[in-house]
A and B are shown apart, each in its own frame.
Chain A
């Protein structure tokens, strides 16, 4: 049973993701996590500001249950199913990240430089997280979906718009890491 404490290989988690999509389809729903961000806006009262948020959020309750599942899953996985949190990324990637100032590369689950509670006190780290979040939230709704809605659900349905969106995700990600990271870190 030791394997359960090790990082799970891609050929375990990839099929699990597909299985989640299958379950959601079979209960007449669809797999897309970013729709929850819109639902949260509506719950906070954004429907009064603009029609986009003026919908019956209770119809999306099932998707919020998926969110709660993700939170519980993260809790169980990190508290009971993991002994060593270091993410063993490629050695070249580690060297790269250390040169950028990420000393925790190869030794932690998330970079402590950004995701330790202390890092929140640093205005630059806080801005990185805040800008990252803003871009994700804005971009995902503009594109009409995120990794789950486009890269998994949309592409499984052979949708051209999803292919365009996924190409966009990669253009954005590559720009950030290859051109913007050297400027900000």
Chain B
């Protein structure tokens, strides 16, 4: 994450400006290989290392929660320039202010938990 600069605020900004292929290359190549992996596991019924059947949980069918939640996430992603994986990479890299982002995203998740039943899903 750090070495590919996917943890850089600048790269996220540049991605949303469509001014570089870099982030699209990372997500796109991960996804292309990911599709091959998941579809092969399903087709050839590949077992896990422990010999168990691998289950993929289909997500609940709905529109509003994914769209509204997605937009809220996107707003924060562009503003803070970090999503929940790279956030932790940045602690290791010694950026103290990222702790504010992590603490508030835990609070944001908590807030969702409190309001869950009142929100459209």
Chain A interface residues (CB < 8 Å from chain B)? 7-15, 17-19, 21-22, 25-28, 30, 33-34, 36-38, 40-41, 44, 46, 49-50, 52-53, 67, 70-78, 81-82, 87, 89-90, 92-93, 96-97, 105-106, 108-111, 114-117, 119-120, 125-126, 128-148, 150-162, 164-178, 180
Contact = CB atoms under 8 A, between A and B. Distances in A.
A140 B74 contact: no
Contact of A135 (B4, B10, B21, B76): B76
Interface of B: 1-17, 19-31, 33-35, 37-39, 41, 48-50, 52, 54, 56-63, 65-86, 88-98, 100-114, 116, 119
Contacts, number: 417
Contact of A74 (B16, B27, B91): B91
Main secondary structure, interface of B, reads helix
Given A37-B105, A67-B88, A153-B34, A8 B8 contact: no
B109 A89 contact: no
Contacts of B92: 70-78
A156 B38 contact: yes
